[in-house]
Each structure stands twice: as C-alpha cells, then as structure tokens.
C-alpha cells in the first residue's frame, strides 16, 4: 500500500506522454457476473499491466475513431476487485474518477438490474453538480429463455435516470462496438457540442 490512488489514476501517469488526441476514463460498474470483463475484453486492444498492478483491477486502453475523430479510451474494470476493508473507500474513488460510466446488468438477473438503479443513485450523489455521461447496459441478450428484464424495462429505467441505454451480448459480440462508440459520442456531446 502507501500509494496515493489519486496520483496513480491521473491522466499523466499512465505512460502515454506523446498522446495528442483527447483521452477519457470510462468506469465499468455493475454486479459480479453481469459481463463487465467480457465486454471490456472485446473492446480492448492493449491491456496495461502496470495499471493492473496499481489499481488492483484491470485497466484497458484503446484508441478508436468515432465520426472521423480519434480518441483514446481508458476503461477501468476495477469495481469488484477492491480488497476488504478498503472497499468502500475505493468504490467511492471509482465513483469520482470517471469521465463517463457504463452501468452493466444482466437481462437474465433482475437483482443485477436493481443494483444498476442503486449504482445510478450513488453516482448521482457522488457527482451531484456534474453532467456525466452514463450508459445503462443490459447484457446477455443471447440468453433468450433466461431473460428476466425486458428491453422496455431497461429503456424505462434509463429514461427515469437520464441515461443512454443499449442491450448487448458479449457472447455474440452484439452491440459491443456500438456501446463504446456511444460512450465517446456522449462525452463529446457534453464538451460544448464541438462539431456535430
């Protein structure tokens, strides 16, 4: 221990000194088993081992071009990896470091859907005055027969909580690229709507 987590999460300490394009931190939230790691693995190019060590979880960085502009996304999959005792502090940290959030539930698990609402509320509390992009994701749509949460319920929840919504299947690689592109678009929209 002993390291200041704020320091290790700062944009300048991650080994990309010559980066020119904007770089955004996206944090994955959601119950265990909903598919966060599967989604980010599909997205990720390079997995940065250094970041892995420092954060006790996985961080993935990739550049992607959306609407003709390049962006670097750093995706943090650290929500569940916190050690006991430090958990609440680290989680609170997670709620503060993101430029955008992806809240994942499984369409086959109603409890995870309810957790997603709670996470949205926690996030709102942690970042009260800020207008942060949040994408609500219903994953595992391939498991048709096990579905417990309808697409309409997901949409309604997103509307209430003022989030974007998308259903994905990491197993079928369905809508995963669209999810991460959507995150970039949402971040850009809030940055003064430059270009359209």
Query: Cβ closer to ligand GDP: 71 or 82?
Result: 82
- Answer yes or no whether residue 11 interacts with ligand GDP by CB under 6 A: no
The mark string for 62-101 relative to ligand GDP (x by CB under 6 A, - otherwise) is ----------------------------------------
In which element (H, E) is residue 157 found? Answer: helix 151-160
Question: What's the CA dihedral at 1, 8, 180, 126 to 10 degrees?
Answer: 80
Query: Cβ closer to ligand GDP: 29 or 95?
Result: 29
Query: Cβ closer to ligand GDP: 15 or 32?
Result: 32
- Token digits of residue 83: 């050690």
Least CB distance from residue 28 to ligand GDP, whole Å? 8
The mark string for 135-174 relative to ligand GDP (x by CB under 6 A, - otherwise) is ----xx-xx-------------------------xxx---
Q: Residue 104: exposed, middle, or buried by beta-carbon count in 10 A (0-12, 13-18, 19+)? A: buried
- Answer yes or no whether residue 33 interacts with ligand GDP by CB under 6 A: yes
CB contact at 8 A, 115 and 105: yes
Q: How many CB atoms lie within 10 A of CB 64?
A: 17
Q: Hunting for tokens 């678009």 — which residue is that?
A: 185
Q: Which residues bind ligand GDP (CB under 6 A)?
A: 30, 32-38, 139-140, 142-143, 169-171
């Amino acid at each position: 221990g002993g390291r200041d987590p704020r320091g290790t999460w700062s944009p300048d300490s991650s080994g990309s000194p010559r980066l020119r394009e904007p770089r955004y931190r996206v944090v994955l939230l959601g119950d265990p088993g909903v598919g966060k790691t599967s989604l980010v693995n599909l997205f990720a190019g390079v997995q940065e081992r250094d970041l892995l060590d420092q954060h006790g979880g996985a961080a993935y960085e990739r550049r992607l071009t959306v609407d003709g502009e390049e962006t670097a996304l750093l995706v943090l999959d650290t929500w569940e990896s916190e050690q006991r005792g430090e958990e609440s502090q680290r989680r609170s940290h997670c709620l503060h470091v993101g430029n955008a959030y992806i809240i994942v539930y499984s369409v086959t698990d109603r409890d995870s859907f309810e957790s997603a609402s709670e996470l949205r509320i926690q996030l709102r509390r942690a970042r009260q005055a800020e207008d942060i992009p949040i994408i609500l994701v219903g994953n595992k749509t391939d498991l048709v027969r096990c579905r417990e949460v309808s697409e309409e319920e997901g949409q309604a929840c997103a509307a209430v909580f003022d989030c974007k919504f998308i259903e994905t299947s990491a197993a079928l690689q369905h809508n995963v690229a669209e999810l991460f592109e959507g995150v970039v678009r949402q971040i850009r929209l809030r940055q003064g709507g430059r270009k359209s």
